[in-house]
Structure 1
Amino acid sequence: MTNKEFAVQLEKRTVMFAIDIINLSVSLPNTTEALVLRNQLTKSGTSIGANYREVNWSRSPRDFKNKIKISLGEASETDYWLEIIEELK
């Protein structure tokens, strides 16, 4: 698999992940606390793919490294919110 093929495949996977995150967010109860979790989870979970797309348009190796770190940071934040939701159920 080439780097370009990998990039295209990962973009598709991040889109599917964002859709899964949205579906999970919609399923959360309508309490004040759940609305906070829903908002945080949806923002971070959908921005992983958006930021990864920007990675694929980076202008230099340094730009690539910076943008991939942003995407990884969003993934880490999403993992945090998912852990909280899992513990609350």
Structure 2
Amino acid sequence: MEKISDKTVLKIRCYKFSVQIVKFIGALKISNTYSPLINQLLRSATSVGANVVEAKSASSKRDFIKYYEIALKSSNETKYWLCLLRDGLNIGKKIKELLTEIGEISNMIASSVIKLKEKEEKNHS
């Protein structure tokens, strides 16, 4: 059986996470008052995977790292919006699952950024 690369695993998890967020938001029955918050969640959550995928077309290693850094920032922002929804609207169970998944995705991206920066520093010394 062929081993799937870490990059491929990350892309798949990011995509599946985006789908989960879209479904989660679609199932919410909340007031329009919270629409800006929901829009921010949708934007940041889908940005994670979009930047990971976009990194594939980067013009340099440094550019690749920048896309991953943006993905990491978006994943941290996503955690913020999920926590705000969890605590403000008292809808914890599904959000707990989403927070766990985005936490694991964040760790994968952060690990990649660290490794890539270490490689880049070695190449420039």
Q: What is the TM-score of this pair, normalised by structure 1?
A: 0.86
| 1:66 corresponds to | 66
Q: State the aligned residue count.
A: 88
Deviates more, 1:4-13 or 1:62-71: 4-13
- What are the ranges of 5 or more consecutive residues in structure 2 without an aligned counterpart? 91-125
Provide, for residues 37-66 of structure 1, a one-character-per-residue CA deviation record: whole Å limited to 9, x for no partner: 211111111111011001122221211121
Computing the radius of gyration from Cα coordinates, the structure with the larger value is 2
Deviation, 1:87, is 0.5
C-alpha RMSD of the superposition: 1.9
- What are the ranges of 5 or more consecutive residues in structure 1 without an aligned counterpart? none
CA contact (8 A) 1:14 1:49 kept: yes
| 1:19 corresponds to | 19
1:14 to 1:74, Cα distance in 2 relative to 1, 3 A: same
CA distance in 1, matches of 2:36, 2:26: 12
Q: What is the TM-score of this pair, normalised by structure 2?
A: 0.63
Q: How does 1:74-89 map to 2 (within 5 A)?
A: 74-88=74-88, 89=90
CA distance in 2, matches of 1:57, 1:87: 38
Provide the identity percentage. 31
Amino acid at match of 1:12: I
| 2:93 corresponds to | none
